[in-house]
C-alpha cells in the first residue's frame, strides 16, 4: 500500500485501520507514510475508503509484495490451493476428509496475528525444527509450496525477511512421534519474534480418549478440546481404512 505524498494532508483518518501499525505520521512533513517493511499488503486500510483525498492507493505489487498479500488479504486466493487467506483447508473437518488416519495426528502451527504478523524466517524455524522429527508436510498448504526441500522444511532464501499477517506450518505425524514434534516446537518457541497457536487433530479412541490431547499435556501444552460436527452438511463421514 502507498500514500501519495503530494495528495496526503496528514489528517490521520486512515491510521486506525491498519492492524500492523504500518501507517506512520511524519511530524515534520505533517503527512502520513506507509512503512513498507511493516505493511503486509492486507488491504484493510483501503476497504473503509477513509481517504477522501485519493492519497491512499494499492500500488502494483512485485512478486515479494504479492506473497505478502496472499498470506494477509483474505480476499486474495493462493495459486497453490485456490483457498483465500492463509490458504489451508480446515483440519477441523477431519471426520469428513479423513485426512489424518488412526495412529496419526495432524498439527498446524499458526504463526502471527494482527498486530504482530510473522516473518518467513520464523516460519522456517518451526518447519525445520519439526522436519527433523520426520513429519510429512501437508502438500496443499501454501507454506509447503514455499519450501525448497520438504524433507528439511527449508524455505526459499529470498522470502525469509518478508512479513505477513499469519502463516501456517501444517503436517501429519505418526502419533508415536507427536511428543517429539511438539517438543521441537516448544524448544524453538523462544527464538520466535511472534506469537503462535497450535491446532491438533486426531481420531478418538473407542473409549473416547483423545491421544493427541494426552500427549500435548505431557509435553506441557494446555489443549482445549473442540469438536466440529458436520452432520447435515451433505458430506459423508470418511471411511476408516
Contact footprint for ligand SF4 (CB under 6 A): 1, 3, 8-14, 17-18, 20, 22-23, 32, 34, 39-45, 50-51, 53, 55-56
Nearer Cβ to ligand SF4 (10/223): 10
**Three cell numbers, residue 57:** 492507493
CB of 38 to ligand SF4, least distance (A): 7
Nearer Cβ to ligand SF4 (195/219): 195
CA pair distance 188, 201, nearest whole angstrom: 21
CB of 20 to ligand SF4, least distance (A): 4
CB of 209 to ligand SF4, least distance (A): 43
Nearer Cβ to ligand SF4 (86/203): 86
CA pair distance 4, 25, nearest whole angstrom: 13
Strand partners, 110: 168, 197
CA 33-39-44 angle, to 5 degrees, is: 95
Instruction: Judge contact between 23 and 45, C-beta under 8 A.
Output: yes
Instruction: Find, among 103, 106, 126, the residue nearest to 188 by Cα.
Output: 126
Nearer Cβ to ligand SF4 (20/184): 20
Instruction: Find, among 59, 55, 75, the residue nearest to 13 by Cα.
Output: 55
Nearer Cβ to ligand SF4 (77/98): 77
Nearer Cβ to ligand SF4 (34/173): 34
CB of 9 to ligand SF4, least distance (A): 5
CB of 199 to ligand SF4, least distance (A): 25
Quote the crossing angle between the two packed helices 175-188 and 120-131, to the nearest 10°.
140
Instruction: Find, among 233, 231, 232, 181, the residue nearest to 202 by Cα.
Output: 181
Q: Are strands 104-111 and 167-174 parallel, antiparallel or unpaired?
A: antiparallel
CB of 55 to ligand SF4, least distance (A): 4
Amino acid at each position: 500500500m502507498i500514500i501519495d505524498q503530494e495528495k496526503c494532508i496528514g489528517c490521520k483518518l486512515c491510521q486506525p485501520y491498519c492492524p500492523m501499525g504500518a501507517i506512520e505520521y511524519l511530524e515534520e512533513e505533517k503527512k502520513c507514510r506507509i512503512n513498507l517493511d511493516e505493511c503486509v499488503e492486507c488491504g484493510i486500510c483501503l476497504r473503509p475508503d477513509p481517504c477522501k483525498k485519493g492519497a491512499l492507493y494499492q500500488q502494483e505489487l512485485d512478486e515479494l509484495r504479492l506473497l505478502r498479500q496472499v498470506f494477509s488479504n483474505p480476499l486474495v486466493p493462493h495459486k497453490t490451493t485456490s483457498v483465500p487467506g492463509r490458504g489451508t483447508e480446515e483440519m477441523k473437518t477431519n471426520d469428513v476428509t479423513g485426512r489424518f488416519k488412526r495412529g496419526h495426528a495432524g498439527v498446524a502451527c499458526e504463526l502471527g496475528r494482527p498486530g504482530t504478523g510473522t516473518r518467513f524466517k520464523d516460519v522456517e524455524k518451526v518447519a525445520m525444527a519439526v522436519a527433523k522429527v520426520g513429519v510429512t508436510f501437508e502438500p496443499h498448504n501454501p507454506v509447503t509450496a514455499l519450501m525448497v526441500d520438504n524433507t528439511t522444511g527449508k524455505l526459499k532464501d529470498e522470502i525469509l525477511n518478508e512479513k505477513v499477517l499469519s502463516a501456517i506450518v501444517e503436517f501429519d505425524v505418526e502419533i508415536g512421534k507427536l511428543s517429539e514434534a511438539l517438543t521441537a516446537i516448544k524448544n524453538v518457541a523462544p527464538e520466535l519474534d511472534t506469537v503462535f497457536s497450535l491446532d491438533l487433530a486426531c481420531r478418538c479412541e473407542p473409549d473416547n480418549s483423545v491421544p493427541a490431547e494426552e500427549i500435548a499435556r505431557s509435553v506441557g501444552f494446555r489443549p482445549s478440546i473442540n469438536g466440529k460436527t458436520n452432520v447435515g452438511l451433505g458430506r459423508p463421514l470418511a471411511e476408516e481404512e
